[in-house]
Amino acid sequence: MNRPRILAHLSARTAVFTSALLSSALLTTTLLTTALLTTAPFTHAQGAPAQTLVIHAGELLATPGKKPEKEQTLVVVDGRISQVLDGYQQPAGTADARVIDLKDRFVMPGLMDMHVHLQGELGPNGDSEDLKFSDELLQMRSLMFALRTLNAGFTTVRDAGSKSQEMYALRDAINRGWIDGPRIIAAGGVGITGGHNDVSGMKHELLELYTDKSICDGPYDCRRATRDAIKYGADLIKITSTGGVLTDRDTGTGQQMEMDELDEVVRAAHRMGRKVASHAHQEDGIVAALKAGVDSIEHGTYTGPEAIKLFKSSGAYLVPTLLAGDTVKTMAETSDFLSPAIKEKAIRVGNDMKDNFGRAYKAGVKVAYGTDSGVSAHGDNAKEAVLMKQAGMSAMDVLVSATVSAADLIDMSDSLGTLEVGKQADIVAYSASPLDNIEELLDVDFVMKGGKVFKQK
């Protein structure tokens, strides 16, 4: 039997086996449900008792962009918001519910970071760790970084590039409740040979060893790589239309992917319901990616007038990652572990990012919050907010970018981004209002994700 026939044979067998399993599972569920319904009227269909929580919030910003309200009550049932009420209340049917007292706190939706790399952290030992640490050990470290992120008040993150299978596994394990961490929207990378997504800075045998199927050249190969990423579990496609700071080659920060490659990736991704995020620094690459129809530009350092026009006509988001610019600039100036090629780019990009972002924001470009954590330390994600404020963004718009806008970017506005009835109970609280002092975000007192409390000071 040739290989395709074996595969067809196997999948036919699998289908029969699966349907047998499904029908026996259905039978068991039906029996269980019947038993539970007859003996325990107050349980839900799944058999688990409804868990109700009542939260008293001193000040509640239920919908960032609108005015916060004083003295509010949130009722959470099975991880979702079921009521939002004026005053401190204990509504009927919640007599046995746990009451969480946040009367002296500012309460808002969990923060969302649209650009992290949970699998690493830039530092002087990065190269040796890459060689010494097993993938399994690295995955254990990713768990730690994920938990730090959640404890910093970030209940949802978009991982913009890690070893993809490991990130999908981390995402799925968190979603199943096996381990604690933020909700992860995980990207599959597609990049060109020698480009910013490709490996660099190693001897050629290692470069060959580490080059994977996500690297493509020409439109058809990049179409293949895009479909490949989706096949193996990507929630979105991450491309790099320009060079990048941390590529260890002096290949610049200008456009690298050709228009036909960009067009093909976006078309293939959108056909399968996946968004595309493009890393881009120089304006030529920002413009090319926007013309191809990407959904967000990451970094967007040199967003100029032409790019601004395209941002506004396409509705794409800018994910500014000012913290990454700030971090690499400081590292380049104060340490010796970055190569000369990287240092030059780090100082230039780091110097230009904040002012250019301020101009793009004032021109009305849509902004979604993103830090590039992994360049900066995981858990420091709120520092981006301080930099955004310094660049001229209003505190309210910073909060909107990390909630309502981020949820829109990942198409999850129906469940995330605000604290409205029916949405996930992803809730954070601070000792004072970040609208008055953005630095409050650096010290979160309370973190709940999906109705589960992870942190309470």
For Zn ion, the binding residues (CB under 5 A) are: 160, 372
Distance of closest approach, residue 384 Cβ to Zn ion, in angstroms: 13
**DSSP for 264-315?**
HHHHHHHHTT-EEEEEE-SHHHHHHHHHHT-SEEEE-TT--HHHHHHHHHHT
Which residue's CB is nearer to Zn ion, number 223 or number 383?
Answer: 383
Which residue's CB is nearer to Zn ion, number 109 or number 161?
Answer: 161
Which residue's CB is nearer to Zn ion, number 61 or number 160?
Answer: 160
Which residue's CB is nearer to Zn ion, number 160 or number 399?
Answer: 160
Q: How far is CA 410 from CA 183, 187, 275, in A?
A: 12, 11, 8
Distance of closest approach, residue 325 Cβ to Zn ion, in angstroms: 11
Which residue's CB is nearer to Zn ion, number 187 or number 407?
Answer: 187
Task: Note the Cα 224 to chain centre separation in Å.
Answer: 25
Distance CA(52)–CA(100), nearest Å, equals: 11
Distance of closest approach, residue 402 Cβ to Zn ion, in angstroms: 17
Distance of closest approach, residue 369 Cβ to Zn ion, in angstroms: 14
**Cβ pair 130, 453 in contact under 8 A:** no
Beta strands 98-109 and 52-60 are parallel
Beta strands 427-430 and 98-109 are antiparallel
Distance of closest approach, residue 126 Cβ to Zn ion, in angstroms: 14
Q: Which residue is listed with tokens 């290692």?
A: 206
Which residue's CB is nearer to Zn ion, number 72 or number 162?
Answer: 162
Distance CA(178)–CA(307), nearest Å, equals: 43
Which residue's CB is nearer to Zn ion, number 126 or number 218?
Answer: 126
225-228: list long-range contacts, CB under 8 Å, 24+ apart.
225/190, 225/265, 226/190, 226/264, 226/265, 226/268, 226/269, 227/268, 227/272, 228/188
What amino acid is encoded at 196 in this protein? H
Which residue's CB is nearer to Zn ion, number 160 or number 407?
Answer: 160
Beta strands 366-367 and 154-159 are unpaired
Distance CA(190)–CA(200), nearest Å, equals: 16
Which residue's CB is nearer to Zn ion, number 120 or number 417?
Answer: 120
Q: How far is CA 395 from CA 66, 402, 440, in A?
A: 12, 11, 11
For residue 373, what are the β-bridge partners? Answer: 116, 376
Which residue's CB is nearer to Zn ion, number 159 or number 264?
Answer: 159
Distinct helix (H) and strand (E) counts, the chain: 14, 16
Distance of closest approach, residue 116 Cβ to Zn ion, in angstroms: 8
Distance of closest approach, residue 372 Cβ to Zn ion, in angstroms: 4
Distance of closest approach, residue 314 Cβ to Zn ion, in angstroms: 21
Distance of closest approach, residue 115 Cβ to Zn ion, in angstroms: 6
Distance CA(181)–CA(144), nearest Å, equals: 9
Q: Which residue is closest to Zn ion by CB?
A: 372
Distance of closest approach, residue 41 Cβ to Zn ion, in angstroms: 51
